[in-house]
Chains A and B, each alone.
Chain A
Amino acid sequence: MNTTPHYPPGTVRALLDTEHVSDATREALQRRLAAGTEPYQTQFFEPEAYALLEAVCARLLHQPNAPANVIDVARCVDERLALGHADGWRYDALPPDREAYRLALGGLRQTAQAQYGRDFLQLTPAEQDAVLQAVQAGTASGAIWQELNGPLFFEELLAETISLYYSHPLAQEEIGYVGMADLPAWTRIGLNDREEREPQATTQPTQ
């Protein structure tokens, strides 16, 4: 039977206080842990569009322990778009990021209306998933999706949000990653070789 490893919570925070983590690494991770604890004023999206983006992120990223553990991905997207940062490339078939995000959020509203006659935010989680699946599959209804390539945009959205999520030390802890604690040298690096400071998994059956 397949099992899903689970790792003990608190591992990364505990490691950050040790000499296993370099100063530069500690500073970067602590800043990220602290970010998002204070209320956020959107910089790029209108509040309504932002609420929609948050709802989408909640479906893409399953955070079972929310809200206590919520990693605020929507906020990072908003900040990036406000600053105009890029990651070095974009599909030529998509418009510039800001335009693509605005169009896509409008597109989600259209699809929700066309499929269920309600606003995206009023849909059940399962209905929201159906709308997102249609966009990913390229079958979403709505005029905007004639203009904007749904599957390509969805890939970009997914890649950005997932990368942001797994950049967070708590998400890294969830998957048993402790590469940030790289001092001194790793010496046990082969198969089934665990170093003292690496957490051991408890396995639970896959749901």
Chain B
Amino acid sequence: MPDEELLEEGVLNPIKPEIQDPLLQELLGEQQAATPQEQPQPVPEQFDEVDCVVIGTGAGGAPLLARLAMAGLKVVALEAGPRHDARRDFATDEKAQEFLFWNDERLSAGRTPTSFGNNNSGTGVGGSTLHYTAYTPRAQPDDLLLRTEFGIGQDWPLSYADLEPYYDELEQLLGISGPAAYPWGPPRRQSYPLGPLPLNGAAQLMQRACQQLGIRTSPAANAALSARYYQEGIGWREACTNRGFCQAGCSVGAKASMDVTFIPLAEAYGAEVRAEAFVTEIERDAQGRVTGVVYEQHGQQMQQRCRALFLCAGAIETPRLLLLNELALSSGHVGRNFMAHPGMQVWGTFEEEVRPYKGIPGALISEDTHRPANANFAGGYLLQSIGVMPVTFANQVARGRGLWGAALHDYMRQYNHVAGINILGECLPHDENYLELATEKDSRGLPKPRVHFSYHDNELRLSEHAERTMRQIWETAGARDIWAFQRSAHVIGTCRMGRSGDDAVVDADGRAFDVPNLYICDNSVFPSALSVNPALTIMALSLRTADRFLEKQRRLDA
């Protein structure tokens, strides 16, 4: 068991945090050393040049790392967070697991500021997949054609047919559990490799009510094993034990996070993963091609040269790195088009015992609202039942209901009778919603990212529609004390892909228009938000990006 305090402090903030408070700065006076930037930089340690460096090992970085290694390339992944032995070290305790989150402070601005940390940003070998809920629906074909369908938003520069083979491949490799016949989307060429996970209390309540209301539901597709599963290069993984803790890390290995799937696969083929390696600089030659990166590891500066760079640091750190390094900025779209899914949750209290800590949290889904009839907004949303851990729930009660004192305690005592539903809905890009570098510095002396996010008409109308639907479901299920928690989830779109470098940062292959040997693959490249959870599509893009890159290499070699 790692010392939680040590991990919290040591891993993410190896340097003494810079004091921001002017008063405190004055008080502490000479105790405060110069900022790290002002200290003379030691000469970085160097390694031999490799074919590819991959920054970040989450949903975007890990699959392509494996693919490139399997093609025989010499690849190194640099991951800011630590490597864990989940089976031994992960506690079934939210607070002890806080080390999984990207806890460096980001500034949330706008009229509907979005929260980071445990709401959407992880760190460690495996990235945010260490704490994703493992819902893995596919995008539907029309998700990629929003502008064609509605005249607003953005089309993707690739189609469902481009993604489909990768969805097929991923579902088999990850061992996705799902229903024999999934009711939405185009007919599937292959069924899910494993049957669905069992429904917990919240899912049963939602299923019951939806049936009465004529809303179709289905057991969800989950990247968690309903039975033991074997994959070449990965080995056996154990079945889900229904411990309901996906969002704070799976100690069983049942959840298909990258640390138990693509990372071991990549390493089996010779990839090297360097943990606790925080990249700060991207180096270039006179022609503007990337030549390597500089990173900090255990307080030391290191350099790694490479022939191609894959930037997969997530939709906040990727544009932040590009802005810090003034790289690939000619489109003016780095950091712009920031989107987050409207993710409203509706909670109710039931006579029945729910005990919401048991079972995979995301057990039941409905995509009947993918394109609701008579909607006054573009796009649509999906509905999911949710299980919830106690601290996460308490936090939402504090923020959403503002309860305290005896009222809070009485409400929290209902915890075992509480069930929730949430949505994930389309979000349109807007000029007002963007990421910039703030003047305030973080513990490394680097400018903090500031993210502006305000809902506009489309998100507001969609949320209203969804709130009505969810309240109706919970009323039908017999809930009392129903309340809605307005929140947004996932960070999307800050280095979007497109057909031209005029309004996009990368092309459909993930290659930067400005820099021929720089590839980006993570949630930042999505041109539109999609009305489904993003991880499976990020992984599909990751494999595709690797394949397109390898194809180009082969053509060059031929």
Contact = CB atoms under 8 A, between A and B. Distances in A.
Interface residues of B, number: 85
Interface stretch (B93-101, B163-171, B420-428, B511-519): B93-101
B93 A163 contact: no
Interface stretch (A47-55, A113-121, A191-199): A191-199
Contact of A179 (B8, B19, B92): B92
Contact of A176 (B8, B118, B119, B415): B415
B106 to A, nearest CB: 5
B321 interface: no
Interface residues of A, number: 70
Given A32-B95, A96-B20, A85 B200 contact: no
B1 interface: yes
B464 interface: no
B353 A194 contact: yes
A158 B398 contact: yes
Contacts of B201: 189-193
A84 B443 contact: yes
Contacts of A122: none
A87 B241 contact: no
Given A60-B405, A162-B398, A96 B96 contact: no
A62 to B, nearest CB: 5
A69 interface: no
Contacts of B172: none
B553 to A, nearest CB: 38
A143 interface: no
A29 B92 CA distance: 10
Contacts of A191: 201, 204-205, 352-354
A83 interface: yes
B220 interface: no
Interface string B1-44: 10010001100010011011111100000000000000000000
B102 interface: yes
B493 to A, nearest CB: 18
Interface string B466-498: 000000000000001000000000000000000
B414 interface: yes
Given A27-B91, A98-B21, A5 B413 contact: yes
B338 interface: no
A103 B108 CA distance: 20
A192 to B, nearest CB: 5
Interface of B: 1, 4, 8-9, 13, 16-17, 19-24, 88-96, 98, 101-109, 113, 115-119, 121, 198-201, 204-205, 240-245, 251, 352-355, 357-359, 389-391, 393-395, 397-399, 402, 404-406, 408-410, 412-417, 440, 443, 450, 480
28 contacts: A22-B91, A27-B1, A27-B91, A28-B1, A28-B95, A85-B13, A86-B103, A88-B121, A89-B107, A93-B109, A98-B24, A136-B402, A154-B402, A158-B399, A174-B413, A175-B413, A175-B416, A176-B415, A176-B416, A179-B245, A183-B241, A184-B241, A185-B243, A186-B358, A187-B242, A189-B201, A192-B352, A192-B353
Given A179-B357, A207-B410, 12 more contacts: A24-B91, A60-B408, A61-B408, A88-B118, A92-B108, A93-B109, A159-B398, A162-B408, A175-B390, A177-B415, A189-B358, A194-B353
